[in-house]
Structure 1
Amino acid sequence: MKKELFFLERFFKLSENNTSIHHEMLAGLMTFMAMAYILAVNPDILSASGMPRGGVFIATIIAAAVGSALMGFVANYPFALAPGLGINAFFSYTVVLSMGYSWQFALLAVFVEGILFLILSVVPVREKLFNSIPLSLKAAVAVGIGIFIAFIALQGGKIVVANNATIVGLINFHDVDMHTNGIWAILTLLGIIITSAFLIKGIRGAILLGIFATWLVGIITEFAGIYVPNAEEGFHSVIPNFSNYFQSLERSFQDFGVTCGALFNPDSWTHTRGDAIVGQGFSLLKSLDFFVVIFAFFFVDLFDTLGTLIGVSLRGGFLTEDGKLPRISRALSADAIATATGAVMGTSTTTTYVESAAGVAFGGKTGLTAVSVSLFFLLSLLFAPVFLAIPGFATAPALFLVGFFMMTSIAKIDFTNLREAIPAFVCMIAMPLSYSISDGIMLGVISYTFVNALTGKIKNVHWVMITLTVIFLLKYALM
């Protein structure tokens, strides 16, 4: 056995786990195929905040590669990481577009959240925080984000549009240009159907294949003259142009020069209302909103990561008999370092992916699977022009169906217990209706505390929840 292979064998304990280098590499490929859609979706979502798509693409790759490699080498688990869906929508549509903060300042919040997560990953505080939040609200956050990102997907797919009478409504195909908006919406609906069929059939990499299949149909419609590009209206050609491949790759790295390290420039930290700048620089660090945003990033990252670790570990048989996950502090630390690294590079919160179950189901048992995922992400750098050319109607179905998967957490809410169920409902429904994940979390926490207090069950509310309630009430009263 070659020296390098012997090192892999000993380091990852392959024989002890009854696996091989070849099998672990294939499992890594399965996981990568299942989650590679993020390379198309993340730049699409974060670019709405004003971030350059090419820079986000490269930052996504680096964050995924660093996080997955750390998970493999430090924790020796076959779990892969990448910038998370849902939380990236919160980054763009809530923190930047709704609250008015610059994307550089939002990256700073992600970085601080990552450092905070790292600190809490090596001390026992994280268990106390985790245990203080009732299961019903944890599940409601996941469900609310799922509804929210599905709503965003339908908007991006031109299916849900602004409506003066009802605020929002379905597209009216009789009143739109069928060569742009109309066919865009039809292709989005078709993409949802195609991707759903792939998922139901259990096809590996179903979401990624759904993206490319929908894109292929879009290319056919453009060749047939059904889809007609109109750059002025934001409808560009969906036919990939490989004649300027190297120029496109170069532009991506130029964009990366804009995003990388941008969070460390205080002059770029701005807070605007309308067209007016109402805050800038270090003064923004005193804002209560800043801490609310950090909490929202941290809250979703922590519980999404823990939920994924538990779920995938159950499937892979990694939990002990008493339900604990060995080396969980190492796994959480890898996640936290990846988040901080991703923020420096230029992307939103990095988290452990539930798609890791694809590699685990294939037979991935050690950290070599995660390291393989890291290598596949690095190889995808060569295909930047391809991923960045994927149109919104092809990525919207992926985002919509990820929202569906997040909805499955609703089963964890006990609807027969109204003290738990009503605050959970407030939390999940407030997110899409207020177009804000943070408002949904705050209203859920406040309603949970008051519902239990007014029904004589204040003793059931952890002191951390009461403290958060006071902070959130002050936020609404003073801002």
Structure 2
Amino acid sequence: MDMKRDAIEGPELRKAGLLERVFRLSEHGTTVRTEMLAGLTTFLTMAYIVFINPNILADAGMPKGSVFVATCLVAALGSLIMGLYANWPVALAPGMGLNAYFTYVVVLGMGYTWQAALGAVFISGCCFLLVTLTGLRSIIVDGIPRSMRIAITVGIGLFLAIIALKNAGVVAASPATFVTIGDLHKPSTVLAVIGFIMVAVLSVRKVKGALLVSILTVTVLSFLVAGNSFGGVISMPPSIEPTLFALDIKGALSGGLLNVVLVLFLVELFDATGTLMGVATRAGLVTDGHSGRLNKALMADSASIFFGSLLGTSSTTAYLESASGVEEGGRTGLTAVTVAGLFLACLFFSPLAGSVPPYATAPALFYVACLMLHELVGLDWDDLTEVIPACVTAVLMPFTYSIATGVSFGFITYALLKLLTGRARDVKPVVWVIAAVFLFKFVETGGAH
């Protein structure tokens, strides 16, 4: 009987042993099941990108089917690199906002071809790799004051909150007040509210997988009362050939696109770095802004931009939605590797993945956003030169719908306050440089784009 049990358990134990060696699960107080559940949760909260990204880039004239494949592949590749190389539970995919800038500003607004815009993404990715390889990016991160690191985390939480509320239909656009209450009679909005109450109650009761249970429950109910349609299970992926290596580097080196490269670089730098720091801090992977694996995480993020431009999509970045997986207990790269596998599966199961509506994932995102606001207790509220820039950073992220803009104004405010109150010595050199670069950018562009 024991021999039979050993024969059954042997492969499982060896498998667990391999994963233990690669991801150091016990060291991080986690298990294979917890990590894979966290990966599934993260995937479900960000799977929308495989449908939204092709729709946005199609407006730039790019083949929608090819962009769908490129989106799945770069998300899988980036998350795989993050998981295996950096061992962080952070997933990557083409960034929201960056794809809109690519289409509506660079291509439709400035009149460049999508091939030239891809070339600009490629060049910005090369710059990104360069500052990461030389250690300049980690120097920038290390130079960020503690108050600004807290502000980045809180701001990301608020940004996540407005995305969740918008997806849920709880808030809507208003010409008079910019945002207002949405239509609470819509079935999708009602389901989102129910989902949030469910995830909150289950979390208080310490039910494992609370976020995932909420997402799946709302999805099932959406078929019954919200008119959600089940589009099938399996379909063969389209060809990626139309966008593969289609970038136009020569066109990207023209005068007008050099400014685009700079903007892409700055947005990528602070969007990705801010997200990595916010999610990693929430996971307990960063202590006082430092981590032995932070440089590897930065490298994985940088490499993903480079590969994304070759495959045929806008800039790739670390995803805020990774916070939902972290909240489910994800602490190692196995979470990211799980996400990578699910994105590869999306190539063949795209109709099934598309059955999860945004309002089903919104409750989980909003719940995570609420928890991220806890970081505010770490601010020194008696020092206004630290508090005011932190508040400017956190508040402007959701109100401008841009992490990069919040960070930009935060650094400028931080430097000016320290300078004008006689505390310039408290500011590290890298902060002066960052503030000056952002100030110059706003003077040149007037804050546009």
- Into which bin does the TM-score normalised by the smaller protein fall? 0.7 to 0.9
- The alpha-carbon deviation at position 297 of structure 1 amounts to 1.6
How far apart, CA to CA, are the structure 1 residues paired with 2:372 and 2:205?
A: 20
How far apart, CA to CA, are the structure 2 residues paired with 1:324 and 1:478?
A: 34
Give the letter aligned to residue 195 of structure 2. Answer: G
3-state SS in 2 of match to 1:403: helix
How far apart, CA to CA, are the structure 2 residues paired with 1:343 and 1:16?
A: 29
Match of 1:183 among 183, 187, 195: 187
Give 1:211's aligned residue.
215
For structure 1, list consecutive stretches of 5 or more residues without a partner in the other structure. Answer: 222-226, 228-236, 270-280
Relative to structure 1, is the Cα distance of residues 422 and 260 closer, same or farther in structure 2, using a 3 angstrom cutoff? farther
Relative to structure 1, is the Cα distance of residues 410 and 464 closer, same or farther in structure 2, using a 3 angstrom cutoff? same
Match of 1:137 among 117, 135, 148: 148
How far apart, CA to CA, are the structure 2 residues paired with 1:55 and 1:368?
A: 28
How far apart, CA to CA, are the structure 1 residues paired with 2:208 and 2:66?
A: 29
3-state SS in 1 of match to 2:318: strand
- The alpha-carbon deviation at position 348 of structure 1 amounts to 4.5
Match of 2:256 among 261, 284, 290: 284
How far apart, CA to CA, are the structure 2 residues paired with 1:73 and 1:170?
A: 43
How far apart, CA to CA, are the structure 2 residues paired with 1:197 and 1:306?
A: 28
How far apart, CA to CA, are the structure 2 residues paired with 1:16 and 1:167?
A: 46
Give 1:240's aligned residue.
230
- The alpha-carbon deviation at position 214 of structure 1 amounts to 1.1
Relative to structure 1, is the Cα distance of residues 120 and 6 closer, same or farther in structure 2, using a 3 angstrom cutoff? farther
Give the letter aligned to residue 431 of structure 1. Answer: M
3-state SS in 1 of match to 2:408: helix
Q: Is the 8 A contact 2:39 2:330 kept in 1?
A: no
Give 1:466's aligned residue.
432
Q: Is the 8 A contact 2:392 2:409 kept in 1?
A: yes
Relative to structure 1, is the Cα distance of residues 43 and 397 closer, same or farther in structure 2, using a 3 angstrom cutoff? farther
Give the letter aligned to residue 454 of structure 1. Answer: L
Relative to structure 1, is the Cα distance of residues 282 and 139 closer, same or farther in structure 2, using a 3 angstrom cutoff? farther
How far apart, CA to CA, are the structure 2 residues paired with 1:372 and 1:241?
A: 24
- The alpha-carbon deviation at position 471 of structure 1 amounts to 2.9
Relative to structure 1, is the Cα distance of residues 169 and 53 closer, same or farther in structure 2, using a 3 angstrom cutoff? farther
1:163 aligns with 2:174: yes
Relative to structure 1, is the Cα distance of residues 450 and 412 closer, same or farther in structure 2, using a 3 angstrom cutoff? same
Instruction: Report 1:264-283 matches (<5 A).
Output: 264=248, 282-283=254-255
Q: Is the 8 A contact 2:66 2:242 kept in 1?
A: yes
Relative to structure 1, is the Cα distance of residues 381 and 27 closer, same or farther in structure 2, using a 3 angstrom cutoff? farther
Give the letter aligned to residue 173 of structure 2. Answer: A
3-state SS in 2 of match to 1:169: strand
1:351 aligns with 2:313: no
1:34 aligns with 2:41: yes
Q: Could you report, residue by residue, the CA deviation over 1:320-343 in whole angstroms, capped at 9, with x for unpaired residues?
A: xx9975565444433432343345
Q: Is the 8 A contact 1:83 1:347 kept in 2?
A: no
* Greater mean alpha carbon deviation, residues 404-413 or residues 105-114: 105-114
* Greater mean alpha carbon deviation, residues 102-111 or residues 207-216: 102-111
Q: Is the 8 A contact 1:214 1:394 kept in 2?
A: yes
Instruction: Report 1:54-453 matches (<5 A).
Output: 58-71=69-82, 73-74=84-85, 77=87, 79-83=88-92, 88-92=95-99, 111-112=122-123, 114-171=125-182, 182-221=186-225, 227=226, 237-242=227-232, 245-246=233-234, 249-250=235-236, 253=238, 261=245, 264=248, 282-287=254-259, 290-306=261-277, 308-309=279-280, 312=283, 314=285, 325-326=291-292, 328-345=294-311, 346=313, 348-351=315-318, 353-354=322-323, 355=325, 358=328, 371=337, 374-453=340-419
Relative to structure 1, is the Cα distance of residues 452 and 359 closer, same or farther in structure 2, using a 3 angstrom cutoff? closer
Q: Is the 8 A contact 2:50 2:72 kept in 1?
A: no
* Greater mean alpha carbon deviation, residues 24-33 or residues 96-105: 96-105
How far apart, CA to CA, are the structure 2 residues paired with 1:299 and 1:139?
A: 14
Relative to structure 1, is the Cα distance of residues 134 and 112 closer, same or farther in structure 2, using a 3 angstrom cutoff? farther
How far apart, CA to CA, are the structure 2 residues paired with 1:71 and 1:114?
A: 16
Give the letter aligned to residue 401 of structure 1. Answer: Y
For structure 2, list consecutive stretches of 5 or more residues without a partner in the other structure. Answer: 1-6
Give the letter aligned to residue 32 of structure 1. Answer: G
How far apart, CA to CA, are the structure 1 residues paired with 2:98 and 2:164?
A: 15
How far apart, CA to CA, are the structure 1 residues paired with 2:374 and 2:327?
A: 16
Q: Could you report, residue by residue, the CA deviation over 1:365-400 in whole angstroms, capped at 9, with x for unpaired residues?
A: xx6776565445434543211112333322333443
Q: Is the 8 A contact 2:56 2:99 kept in 1?
A: yes
Instruction: Report 1:9-28 matches (<5 A).
Output: 14=21, 26-28=33-35
Give the letter aligned to residue 214 of structure 1. Answer: V
Among the aligned pairs, what percent are the same residue?
28
- The alpha-carbon deviation at position 240 of structure 1 amounts to 0.2
Q: Could you report, residue by residue, the CA deviation over 1:44-78 in whole angstroms, capped at 9, with x for unpaired residues?
A: 55457345886666445433432344345445x3x
How far apart, CA to CA, are the structure 2 residues paired with 1:16 and 1:450?
A: 43
How far apart, CA to CA, are the structure 1 residues paired with 2:148 and 2:25?
A: 39
Q: Could you report, residue by residue, the CA deviation over 1:211-267 in whole angstroms, capped at 9, with x for unpaired residues?
A: 22112212111xxxxx4xxxxxxxxx512032xx55xx24x535x556655655777
Measured on the aligned residues, the alpha-carbon RMSD in Å equals: 4.3
How far apart, CA to CA, are the structure 1 residues paired with 2:134 and 2:374?
A: 31
How far apart, CA to CA, are the structure 2 residues paired with 1:158 and 1:10?
A: 45
Q: Is the 8 A contact 2:34 2:330 kept in 1?
A: yes
Relative to structure 1, is the Cα distance of residues 429 and 114 closer, same or farther in structure 2, using a 3 angstrom cutoff? same
Give the letter aligned to residue 337 of structure 1. Answer: A
How far apart, CA to CA, are the structure 2 residues paired with 1:265 and 1:209?
A: 46
Task: Report the count of equivalent residues.
Answer: 423
Q: Is the 8 A contact 1:29 1:359 kept in 2?
A: no
3-state SS in 2 of match to 1:216: helix
Relative to structure 1, is the Cα distance of residues 7 and 201 closer, same or farther in structure 2, using a 3 angstrom cutoff? closer
Q: Is the 8 A contact 1:30 1:358 kept in 2?
A: yes
Give the letter aligned to residue 43 of structure 2. Answer: A
3-state SS in 1 of match to 2:73: helix
Relative to structure 1, is the Cα distance of residues 123 and 81 closer, same or farther in structure 2, using a 3 angstrom cutoff? same
How far apart, CA to CA, are the structure 1 residues paired with 2:64 and 2:406?
A: 28
Q: Is the 8 A contact 1:34 1:208 kept in 2?
A: yes
Give the letter aligned to residue 92 of structure 2. Answer: P
Q: Is the 8 A contact 1:132 1:462 kept in 2?
A: yes
- The alpha-carbon deviation at position 416 of structure 1 amounts to 2.0
How far apart, CA to CA, are the structure 2 residues paired with 1:136 and 1:107?
A: 36
- The alpha-carbon deviation at position 455 of structure 1 amounts to 0.4
